[in-house]
A and B are shown apart, each in its own frame.
Chain A
């Protein structure tokens, strides 16, 4: 089975940097994903890590340590529109290679 943990809520200030952590335990591992979900909308893909290290994409970066079962999503230069839920998801190799198992999400509030 899988177990994915991330904080329930976070608050950060506009213009600041925030790091959202995710820890996971899976019987197999074939990639970690971050999705963004605004209230009332569908989740949308942000990033993908399969090897250890940092992947940078504009204001967003995602880090993975497979040995620690740990990832984080780093958001820089926060904007009000970044207020959303951020979902950590793992692809478990033993689940047929494609289904993603999602954490419950971290609700980020960006304040002025």
Chain B
């Protein structure tokens, strides 16, 4: 059945390394979101796309984070260079045109040492 797919599920890396997370949204969904979840802050919106166009990335630290959607089946979130404070679970979610319901992937747990 249709679901959002994220890779990697778990990533441990060292400070300063580049991290790329990938997301395959549900086929036919035209909006894609990147959220970050931590115990302290909860779920925070980082960026989102509609019809592959970036609409809002104001929640994202611009100097190190970048989000792209090279095609309708792939969204990427890149951190370069990574820092320990970036340790969190990163969720990708997709939604249809006329629904507010979001479908979340299983998340990428990032640990930066």
Contact = CB atoms under 8 A, between A and B. Distances in A.
Interface of A: 30-31, 33, 41-45, 48, 87, 91, 95-96, 98-105
Contact of A99 (B42, B56, B105): B56
Contact of B105 (A42, A87, A104, A105): A42
Interface string B96-110: 000011111111000
B32 to A, nearest CB: 10
A103 B55 CA distance: 22
A31 B33 CA distance: 18
Given A87-B42, A96-B56, 4 more contacts: A31-B100, A43-B43, A100-B45, A104-B42
B55 A45 contact: no
Given A41-B106, A48-B100, A95-B56, A103 B91 contact: no
Contacts of B44: 102
B11 interface: no
Interface residues of B, number: 22
Nearest to A105: B42
A48 B91 CA distance: 21
Interface string B35-48: 10000011111001
Contacts of B33: 99
A2 to B, nearest CB: 10
Contacts of B50: 96, 98
| 4 pairs of A and B residues whose beta carbons are closest in the complex | A104-B42, A42-B104, A102-B43, A45-B101
Interface string B46-84: 001010000110000000000000000000000000000
B31 interface: yes
A48 B105 CA distance: 20
A33 B100 contact: yes
A102 B36 CA distance: 11
Contacts of A91: 100
Contact of B106 (A42, A48, A101): A42
B45 A101 contact: yes
